[in-house]
């Protein structure tokens, strides 16, 4: 048998956003500002949850995990994009590219499972409130979180291994802002039929049960809320899960558009847009959704700021400034 004349790729070229050559520096500043917002928002959620004993509950424990994930996967993808904007350095080694792909898939998988676990937590809180502390005890929460991280770091190994063994003989130019799975599959001159089938099998065996459990949790939650007679009671019950439901819709919407489609049906420009929503906007909106729509978080933030303002040094500064303005 004759071997195919293929050249093994040693480096990939990530294009980033070449559609706007004159806006590279403004785009760098924009993405830097977005990243700082993501960092500030999610670190605030983690800090407030850790410092306030009233927020030491299963819901906020899983929310801290979600905030950490949001910081992590933007930190995986954005530094290379900044390098492209500033230095015009588009190259990334093959090993660096596959490491970025694996890290991103791992963190996406963690988020997928954590969101399902949070849906179950809301189901127990609304449908079984008297047994909530018994079911969602500290040991159960730690086991669920650790199991999620272990499972999520093992699941993408198959995909990364298969993608790394594809032949990239036609081009090494990735029309994306990071080493995304869909972009790498488009580059391959090897048939991706096996990888597509494995993706659907993994989705059916592992992804579908989590999706169905999340959907079932919210069916039970909504039916339980509708059975509450008072309007105020229904409003309070719905407010406990409305934040998570908003995040859920945003997450599943972008994730389904990105990955649960055959390679032949995917457009790289559309995938880049969906990846931008998933990778940047959702982590930026998550802290806003959870803080603005949650009384406990807002109360904890007010308490933290009031403590800072009541500090003797700060009060002295404020008093001195008041005296200065009155004297003038």
Question: What DSSP state is assigned to residue 155?
Answer: T
**Is 220 part of any domain?**
yes
- Domain assignment present for 15: yes
CATH of the domain at 194: 1.20.1070.10
Four-point Cα dihedral 220, 223, 226, 230, nearest 10: -40
- Asked if the structure places residue 312 within a domain, the reply is no
Q: What is the pLDDT of residue 268?
A: 64
Q: Which domain holds residue 148?
A: 11-297
Residue 249 lies in a domain: yes
- Is 306 a member of any domain? no
pLDDT value for 1: 38
Q: Does the residue 326 lie in any domain?
A: no
pLDDT of residue 304: 63
- Name the percent of the chain lying above pLDDT 70: 81
Q: What is the pLDDT of residues 80-129, one digit of tens each?
A: 999 899 888 888 999 999 999 999 999 988 988 998 898 899 899 888 88
Residue 250 DSSP class: H
Number of domains in the chain: 1
In a domain, 20, yes or no: yes
* pLDDT of 201 above 90: no
Q: Which comes out higher in pLDDT, residue 159 or 255?
A: 159
Output helix, strand, coil percentages for the chain, rounded to the nearest 5: 80, 5, 20
């Amino acid at each position: 048998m004759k071997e195919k004349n293929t050249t093994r790729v040693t480096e990939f070229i990530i294009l980033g956003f070449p559609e706007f050559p004159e806006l590279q520096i403004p785009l760098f500043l924009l993405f830097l500002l977005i990243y700082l917002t993501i960092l500030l928002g999610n670190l605030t959620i983690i800090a407030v949850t850790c410092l306030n004993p009233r927020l030491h509950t299963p819901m906020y424990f899983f929310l801290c995990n979600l905030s950490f994930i949001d910081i992590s996967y933007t930190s995986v993808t954005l530094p290379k994009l900044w390098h492209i904007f500033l230095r015009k350095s588009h190259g990334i080694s093959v090993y660096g590219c596959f490491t970025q792909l694996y890290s991103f898939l791992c963190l996406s998988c963690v988020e997928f499972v954590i969101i399902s676990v949070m849906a179950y937590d809301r189901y127990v809180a609304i449908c079984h409130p008297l047994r909530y502390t018994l079911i969602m005890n500290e040991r159960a929460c730690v086991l669920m979180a650790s199991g999620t991280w272990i499972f999520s770091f093992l699941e993408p190994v198959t995909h990364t291994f298969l993608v790394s063994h594809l032949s990239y003989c036609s081009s090494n130019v990735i029309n994306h802002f990071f080493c995304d799975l869909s972009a790498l599959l488009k580059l391959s001159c090897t048939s991706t039929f096996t990888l597509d089938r494995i993706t659907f099998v993994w989705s059916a065996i592992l992804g579908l049960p989590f999706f169905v459990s999340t959907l079932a949790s919210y069916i039970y939650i909504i039916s339980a809320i509708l059975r509450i007679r008072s309007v105020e009671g229904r409003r309070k019950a719905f407010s406990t899960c409305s934040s998570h439901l908003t995040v859920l819709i945003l997450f599943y919407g972008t994730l389904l558009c990105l990955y649960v489609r055959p390679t032949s049906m995917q457009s790289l420009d559309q995938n880049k847009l969906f990846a931008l929503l998933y990778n940047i906007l959702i982590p930026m909106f998550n802290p806003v959704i959870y803080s603005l729509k949650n009384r406990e978080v807002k109360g904890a933030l007010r308490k933290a700021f009031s403590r800072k303002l009541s500090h003797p040094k700060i009060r002295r500064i404020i008093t001195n400034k008041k005296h200065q303005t009155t004297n003038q």
